[in-house]
Amino acid sequence: MAKNYALTAEKRDRAGKGVARALRRELKIPAVIYGDGKEPIMISMVEKDITLQYLKGYMSTHLCDLTVDGAKQLCIARDVQTHPVTDRIEHADFLRVTPKTKIAVDVPVHFINQEASPGMKAAGVLNIVSHELELMCSATDIPEFLEVDMTGAEIGDSIRMDKLKLPKGAVPTNDDEEHVLATIAAPKGAKADEEADAAISAAAAAASAAASAPGVAAPGAAAKAPAKKEDKK
């Protein structure tokens, strides 16, 4: 399971665009905590601290021990809004969670045992269709990643959902077992050779068909005229 990270915040009494702009001038971020049947709490956070965690790329799948004025709350970031030009964080929403909280999260997919795949050993190309998969699971049991075992996978194989190792209690929101996670394609050079062989075979077949057609001379064959006999005097 993923490890928690920690942030601190302060309560704020006022909301609105003017308040948000004033906080940002102080290098702070307006945010809110909601959920678990409790009243929402408006907070402000140090921009540098939350930006550091945001850039690590795991805020949406890792739990946060969020301390607000000395009181710790277990939360998960559900929305982080950034400026469209500067990419600076402008606002964040945090959801309070408990072991009973069920949420949908996008979890990274890792493809393991590639060395045990005949297709990969033969220089096959792994084309990943799903880098992430949405799971419905307990908020306190979010897996850090999902594993797909590639043992025995050959060139031309499609790796589907039934190859996925799911943690206990987690269910994909897409329950289609035929959903393709990845494919193994032939290496580009091999594909070009196969296409060239196919073209040569097609040309040979066409030539053979033309040669066997009635009244049609074989390609390259010259028609010979009967030799003239010399007159003897």
**Residue 133: which CATH number?**
2.170.120.20
- Same domain, yes or no: 73 and 131: no
Number of separate domains in the chain: 2
Give the pLDDT of residue 216: 47
Of 139 and 219, the one with more pLDDT:
139
End residue of a domain, out of 97, 130, 153: 97
H or E segment and range at residue 72:
strand 71-82
Cα separation, 148 vs 173, in Å, equals 17
Give the pTM.
0.71
Q: What is the pLDDT of residues 41-86, one digit of tens each?
A: 999 999 999 999 999 988 999 999 999 999 999 999 999 999 999 9
Give the pLDDT of residue 176: 82
Whether 33 and 40 have beta carbons less than 8 Å apart is answered as yes
- The single residue listed with the structure tokens 């702070």 is 28
Domain assignment of residue 200, yes or no: no
Domain assignment of residue 23, yes or no: yes
Percent share of the chain, pLDDT over 90: 63
Residue 162 gets the label, from left (phi > 0), alpha (psi -120 to 50) or beta, of alpha
Residue 201 confidence class, pLDDT cut points 50, 70, 90: low
Instruction: Give phi and psi for 23, each to the nearest 5.
Output: -65, -40
- Same domain, yes or no: 16 and 92: yes
Average pLDDT over residues 15-44: 92
Q: Which amino acid is at 97?
A: V
- Same domain, yes or no: 9 and 86: yes
Give the pLDDT of residue 7: 96
Bridge partners of residue 92, in order along the sequence: 31, 80
Give the pLDDT of residue 16: 84
Q: What is the pLDDT of residues 142-160, one digit of tens each?
A: 998 999 999 999 999 999 9
Whether 194 has a pLDDT exceeding 90, the answer reads no
Give the pLDDT of residue 109: 93
Structural domain boundaries enclosing 158: 103-188
